[in-house]
Amino acid sequence: MVTQLNQPQPTASDRPEIHYPDSDGQPMADNTLQFQWIVTIKENLELLFANDANVFVAGDLLWYPVEGNNKLRQAPDAMVVFGRPKGYRGSYQQWQEDNLAPQVVFEILSPGNRLKEMAKKFQFYQQYGVEEYYLYDPDTIDLMGWLRGAESAESSRQYLTIIEEMEGWVSPRLGIRFAIGAAGLELYDPQGQRFLTFTELGQQAQAEKQRADAEKDRADAEKDRADRLAAKLQELGIDPTTL
């Protein structure tokens, strides 16, 4: 009789470690217009939530929703996660983030995007819990949005459903307003300030500095004039503090 020994079962430490790449090898953008929009949206969202330590904003960051599967991933052009701290990440591995999916994602279309690719992205966001999905084509100035909600009044199942009117739409999560102007998409923060490009933000900061410098020069000149007047009065034997 041959006795078969039970083989020990592999433990978690025995299993090969799964690598989750930080890059999918794809460029962040296909052209300068798409790149500008990605940067503008991402950086303005960073500014919007700069004082909230538990809002994480990222651009073109690989999101892995399921542990153990490094093929299942997407890299939204911009994404916002409420309830997760700011900080560096090589990728967003959801099981290490309290299993919180990004609640809001943005995609900026380029001529290189294919219908099949965008359909796969929508399916991914649908399946893995995105609450708000916004898609903008800067070449055609087409804007679409989806909001997660119940399938019907009788159903508790939640799906991304089309937002019928995006003009004037206010994001429930972000509080930002969408509008279409003569030059295309315009985004406004809750205080009504338009999202600015990096160049516009730099110009605004420079203008503010110039105004502050001019005000300082005016105040310095006024003080210098007052000092000269006080000195002149003292020469005449008049105490300026008594005037």
135-163 pLDDT, tens digit per residue, is: 999 999 999 999 998 665 555 678 999 99
Q: Is residue 101 part of a domain?
A: yes
Residues 140 and 207 in one domain: no
Instruction: Verify that 115 and 230 share a domain, yes or no.
Output: no
| Measured distance CA(41)–CA(185) in Å, rounded | 11
Residue type, 45: L
Question: Domain check: are 79 and 56 in the same one?
Answer: yes
Q: What is the pTM of this model?
A: 0.78
**pLDDT attached to residue 233:** 75
Buried/exposed code over 113-133 (b: 16+ C-beta within 10 A; e: otherwise): beeeeeeebbebbeebbbbbb
- Regarding whether 81 and 134 lie in a shared domain, the answer is yes
Query: Tell me, what's the pLDDT at 137?
Result: 95
User: Nearest to residue 43, comparing CAs of 54, 57, 55?
Assistant: 57
> Do 225 and 111 have their domain in common?
no
b (16+ CB within 10 A) / e for 76-90: bbbbbbbebeeeebe
- pLDDT over 80 (residue 120): yes
Same domain, 238 and 148: no
- Of 43-47, 60-64, 74-78, 201-205, the one with minimum mean pLDDT is 201-205
Residues 207 and 183 in one domain: no
Q: What is the pLDDT of residue 237?
A: 74
* Range from 27-31, 87-91, 131-135, 217-221 carrying the lowest mean pLDDT: 217-221
231 & 143 share domain: no
- Count how many domains the chain has: 2
Domain hosting residue 220, numbered range: 201-242
What is the average pLDDT score of the chain? 87
In percent, the amount of the chain with pLDDT more than 70 equals 86
The answer to whether residue 8 is domain-embedded is no
Residue that the structure tokens 């099949």 belong to: 116
**Sign of the Cα pseudo-torsion (15, 16, 21, 24, in order):** negative
